[in-house]
Protein backbone atom coordinates (compact mmCIF):
# COMPACT_ATOMS: atom_id res chain seq x y z
CA UNK A 1 0.00 0.00 0.00
CA UNK A 2 2.84 2.37 0.85
CA UNK A 3 4.42 1.63 -2.50
CA UNK A 4 1.22 2.59 -4.33
CA UNK A 5 0.92 5.87 -2.37
CA UNK A 6 4.58 6.64 -3.07
CA UNK A 7 4.09 5.95 -6.80
CA UNK A 8 1.03 8.23 -6.93
CA UNK A 9 2.94 11.01 -5.16
CA UNK A 10 5.85 10.65 -7.59
CA UNK A 11 3.52 10.89 -10.59
CA UNK A 12 1.87 14.00 -9.18
CA UNK A 13 5.22 15.61 -8.37
CA UNK A 14 6.66 14.88 -11.80
CA UNK A 15 3.60 16.28 -13.57
CA UNK A 16 3.98 19.56 -11.66
CA UNK A 17 7.55 20.13 -12.86
CA UNK A 18 7.94 23.15 -15.11
CA UNK A 19 9.77 22.87 -18.40
CA UNK A 20 12.94 24.89 -18.90
CA UNK A 21 10.99 27.44 -21.00
CA UNK A 22 8.20 27.77 -18.41
CA UNK A 23 10.80 28.14 -15.68
CA UNK A 24 12.70 30.80 -17.64
CA UNK A 25 9.56 32.81 -18.48
CA UNK A 26 7.77 32.51 -15.14
CA UNK A 27 7.20 35.93 -13.68
CA UNK A 28 7.52 37.79 -16.98
CA UNK A 29 5.43 40.93 -16.74
CA UNK A 30 5.50 42.29 -20.28
CA UNK A 31 5.79 41.12 -23.85
CA UNK A 32 6.67 43.00 -27.00
CA UNK A 33 5.90 41.47 -30.36
CA UNK A 34 7.82 42.99 -33.24
CA UNK A 35 6.25 42.10 -36.57
CA UNK A 36 8.04 43.09 -39.76
CA UNK A 37 5.71 46.10 -40.17
CA UNK A 38 4.62 47.01 -36.60
CA UNK A 39 5.06 46.37 -32.88
CA UNK A 40 2.53 45.35 -30.27
CA UNK A 41 3.19 45.40 -26.52
CA UNK A 42 1.18 43.94 -23.66
CA UNK A 43 1.29 43.41 -19.93
CA UNK A 44 -1.74 41.07 -20.14
CA UNK A 45 -0.68 37.95 -18.23
CA UNK A 46 -2.93 35.65 -20.26
CA UNK A 47 -1.26 36.71 -23.52
CA UNK A 48 2.23 36.35 -22.04
CA UNK A 49 1.39 32.94 -20.62
CA UNK A 50 -0.27 31.71 -23.80
CA UNK A 51 2.66 32.69 -26.03
CA UNK A 52 5.17 31.30 -23.52
CA UNK A 53 3.36 27.92 -23.67
CA UNK A 54 3.42 27.99 -27.47
CA UNK A 55 7.23 28.32 -27.36
CA UNK A 56 7.38 25.07 -25.44
CA UNK A 57 6.04 23.05 -28.38
CA UNK A 58 7.45 20.03 -30.13
CA UNK A 59 11.04 20.47 -31.31
CA UNK A 60 11.48 20.71 -35.06
CA UNK A 61 14.20 21.31 -37.61
CA UNK A 62 15.89 24.71 -37.81
CA UNK A 63 14.19 26.08 -40.90
CA UNK A 64 15.86 28.64 -43.17
CA UNK A 65 12.83 30.45 -44.53
CA UNK A 66 12.99 33.87 -42.89
CA UNK A 67 10.96 35.29 -40.03
CA UNK A 68 7.78 37.31 -39.59
CA UNK A 69 8.86 38.83 -36.31
CA UNK A 70 10.25 38.49 -32.80
CA UNK A 71 8.79 37.94 -29.33
CA UNK A 72 10.53 39.77 -26.49
CA UNK A 73 9.68 38.61 -22.96
CA UNK A 74 10.54 41.01 -20.09
CA UNK A 75 10.64 40.84 -16.30
CA UNK A 76 11.00 44.16 -14.47
CA UNK A 77 12.14 45.84 -17.73
CA UNK A 78 14.94 43.30 -18.25
CA UNK A 79 14.89 41.10 -21.34
CA UNK A 80 14.48 37.47 -20.30
CA UNK A 81 14.12 35.73 -23.66
CA UNK A 82 13.67 36.65 -27.31
CA UNK A 83 12.29 34.32 -29.94
CA UNK A 84 12.00 34.69 -33.71
CA UNK A 85 8.87 33.32 -35.32
CA UNK A 86 7.47 32.38 -38.72
CA UNK A 87 3.69 31.94 -38.98
CA UNK A 88 2.74 32.93 -42.54
CA UNK A 89 4.16 29.93 -44.39
CA UNK A 90 2.36 26.69 -43.50
CA UNK A 91 5.30 24.36 -44.15
CA UNK A 92 7.73 26.53 -42.18
CA UNK A 93 5.83 27.65 -39.06
CA UNK A 94 8.17 27.69 -36.05
CA UNK A 95 9.79 29.57 -33.19
CA UNK A 96 13.56 29.88 -32.86
CA UNK A 97 15.23 30.90 -29.60
CA UNK A 98 18.28 30.27 -27.44
CA UNK A 99 17.85 28.70 -24.03
CA UNK A 100 21.05 28.30 -22.08
CA UNK A 101 23.60 27.60 -24.79
CA UNK A 102 21.20 25.67 -27.01
CA UNK A 103 19.52 27.01 -30.16
CA UNK A 104 16.00 25.59 -30.12
CA UNK A 105 13.41 25.43 -32.89
CA UNK A 106 9.86 24.43 -31.96
CA UNK A 107 6.73 23.92 -34.03
CA UNK A 108 4.39 26.90 -34.19
CA UNK A 109 0.87 25.43 -34.23
CA UNK A 110 -2.31 26.75 -35.84
CA UNK A 111 -3.61 28.31 -32.63
CA UNK A 112 -0.36 30.27 -32.19
CA UNK A 113 -0.49 31.36 -35.84
CA UNK A 114 -4.09 32.55 -35.41
CA UNK A 115 -3.16 34.53 -32.29
CA UNK A 116 -0.14 36.14 -33.95
CA UNK A 117 -2.14 37.00 -37.07
CA UNK A 118 -4.87 38.51 -34.93
CA UNK A 119 -2.33 40.65 -33.04
CA UNK A 120 -0.64 41.71 -36.26
CA UNK A 121 -4.01 42.89 -37.58
CA UNK A 122 -4.54 45.00 -34.47
CA UNK A 123 -6.98 42.79 -32.56
CA UNK A 124 -5.69 43.04 -29.03
CA UNK A 125 -7.86 40.46 -27.24
CA UNK A 126 -6.54 37.12 -26.10
pLDDT digits (tens, 9 = 90+) for 20-49: 777 888 889 999 999 999 999 989 888 888
Beta carbons within 8 Å of 65's beta carbon, 6+ residues apart: 86, 89, 92
Residue 126 falls within a domain, yes or no?
no
Residue 5 falls within a domain, yes or no?
no
Q: How many domains does the chain have?
A: 1
Residue 89 falls within a domain, yes or no?
yes
Structural domain boundaries, residue 57: 29-120
Residue 24 falls within a domain, yes or no?
no
- Four-CA torsion 39, 42, 46, 48, nearest 10 degrees: 60
Read off the pLDDT of residues 71-89 as tens digits, 9 standing for 90 and up. 999 999 999 999 999 999 9
Residue 105 falls within a domain, yes or no?
yes
% pLDDT > 70, the chain: 83
Residue 10 falls within a domain, yes or no?
no
Residue 84 falls within a domain, yes or no?
yes
**DSSP assignment letter at 91:** G
Residue 17: pLDDT band by 50, 70, 90 thresholds?
A: low
The rounded distance, in Å, linking the Cα atoms of 27 and 90 is: 32
Residue 47 falls within a domain, yes or no?
yes
Amino acid sequence: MRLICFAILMIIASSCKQSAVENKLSGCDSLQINFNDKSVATTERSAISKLAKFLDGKKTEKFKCGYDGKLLFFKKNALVLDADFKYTQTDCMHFLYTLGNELISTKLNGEAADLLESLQKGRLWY
